[in-house]
């Protein structure tokens, strides 16, 4: 046996112990690395999941933006068309004409598509506060005047007569040149 073989034989147990300790240390290192890598991979997986969610929300946002863009485009086209419309065209939109090209009778709102507002419409009905006087006025045929202007023709006549008598008492119409003598 050579001297090397003898040394190996003597130190065999020590070498085996050292190899075992190296193996255990390598196992510990491998387990530690595995744990670390597992944690890292788990966090990476989580990050990928969050990125996927963000991409999904971005995709939804892109879809909504596309629909908004389409709506804006149609509105822009409509505004472009409206740009060339004149005030005459707008008047023609609101002007209603009969089949026989006659202007609409504004006094009868029953057949009108666009009748006058209610306060401008002629109506022979009278407010309730003056209903009693209107019955007398209708007998004289002045209800239409009363309905339109709120006064009766007889009231107007009486007012004019009282003004005449007042002027007569003062000595006639003094404001005219003719009577100044």
Average pLDDT over residues 104-108: 55
* Distance (Å, whole) CA 110 – CA 121: 11
Average pLDDT rounded to a whole number, residues 105-126: 50
Q: What is the pLDDT of residues 70-100, one digit of tens each?
A: 899 888 888 887 777 777 777 776 665 544 5
pLDDT score recorded for residue 36: 83
Q: 32-74, pLDDT tens digit by residue?
A: 888 888 888 888 888 888 888 888 889 899 999 999 998 998 8
| 1 Cβ contact partners less than 8 Å away, ≥ 6 residues apart | 9
* pLDDT tens column, 147-175: 555 555 566 666 666 666 666 666 655 55
Nearest one of 173, 171, 133, 178 to 152, comparing CA atoms = 133
**pLDDT at residue number 68:** 92
Whether the pTM exceeds 0.75: the reply is: no
């Amino acid at each position: 046996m050579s001297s090397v073989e003898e040394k190996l034989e003597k130190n065999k147990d020590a070498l085996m112990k050292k190899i075992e300790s190296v193996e255990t240390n390598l196992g510990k290192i491998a387990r530690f690395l595995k744990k670390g890598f597992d944690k890292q991979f788990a966090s990476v997986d989580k990050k990928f999941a969050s990125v996927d969610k963000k991409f999904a929300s971005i995709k939804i946002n892109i879809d909504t933006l596309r629909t908004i863009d389409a709506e804006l485009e149609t509105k822009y086209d409509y505004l472009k068309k409206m740009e060339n419309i004149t005030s005459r065209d707008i008047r023609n939109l609101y002007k209603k004409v009969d089949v026989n090209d006659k202007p609409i009778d504004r006094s009868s709102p029953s057949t009108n598509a666009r009748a006058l507002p209610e306060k401008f419409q002629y109506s022979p009905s009278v407010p309730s506060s003056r209903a009693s006087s209107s019955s007398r006025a209708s007998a004289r045929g002045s209800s239409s005047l009363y309905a339109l202007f709120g006064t009766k023709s007889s009231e107007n006549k009486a007012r004019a007569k009282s003004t005449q008598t007042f002027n007569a008492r003062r000595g006639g119409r003094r404001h005219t040149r003719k009577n100044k003598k």
